[in-house]
Amino acid sequence: MNGDMISRDAARAQVGPADRLCGSGARTDRRGATTTAAPWMDDDRDVPRESVRTYALHAFDLDLDRVVAGKADRTVSVCIPAHNEVATVAQVLTAVRLPHLREVGGSGLVDEVLVVDDGSTDGTAEAAAAAGARVVRLDRRTGKGGAMAAAVDSAAGDVIVFLDADVENTTGAFVTSLLGPLLTTPGEFALVKGYYERPIGDSPTGGGRVTELVARPALEVLFPDVPELSDVLQPLAGETAAPRWVLEKLDLAPGYGVEIGLLVDVVTRFGAGAVAQVDLGTRVHRNRSLAELRPQAVEVLRAALERAGKPAR
Q: Which residue has the higher pLDDT, 63 or 289?
A: 63
Q: How far apart are CA 92 and CA 307, in angstroms?
A: 32
* Residue 17, in any domain of the structure: no
Residue 285 counted as domain residue:
yes
Dmax (CA) of the chain:
52
- pLDDT tens column, 13-31: 322 223 222 222 344 444 4
CATH code of residue 256: 3.90.550.10
| Average pLDDT estimate for 104-118 | 97
Domain range for residue 242? 54-307
Asked if residue 278 lies in contact with residue 194, where contact means CB atoms within 8 angstroms, the answer is yes
Beta bridge mates, 6: 54
- For residue 36, being part of any structural domain is answered with no
Separation between Cα atoms, residue 11 and residue 131, nearest integer Å: 35
Query: What domain count does the chain have?
Result: 1
pLDDT 10s digits, 172-189:
999 999 999 999 988 889
Residue range 251-280: average pLDDT?
A: 94
For 128, phi and psi rounded to 5 degrees? -65, -40
Is 21 within the bounds of a domain? no
Of 158, 183, 193, 176, nearest to 107 (Cα)?
176
Domain contains 110: yes
H or E segment to which residue 268 belongs: helix 258-270
pLDDT at position 14 = 27
Residue 37 included in any domain: no
Cα–Cα distances in angstroms (integers) from residue 181 to residues 61, 113, 133, 151, 156, in the given order: 11, 20, 25, 22, 20
Answer whether residue 282 shows pLDDT above 90: no
- Nearest to residue 128, comparing CAs of 143, 140, 112, 142? 112
Mean pLDDT of 24-52: 52
Q: How far apart are CA 178 and CA 281, in angstroms?
A: 12
Residue 313 lies in a domain: no
* pLDDT, mean of residues 217-221: 95
Question: Between these two residues, 52 and 81, which has the higher pLDDT value?
Answer: 81
Name residue 241's beta-bridge partners: 161, 192
Show the CA angle centred on residue 234, arms to residues 191 and 34, nearest 5°: 10
Could you give phi then psi for residue 157, rounded to 5 degrees?
-75, 150
Amino acid 130: pLDDT: 97
Alpha-carbon distance of 197 to 104, in angstroms, equals 31
What backbone phi and psi angles, to 5 degrees, belong to 102?
A: -60, -40
Residue 287 has pLDDT above 70, yes or no: no
In a domain? residue 124: yes
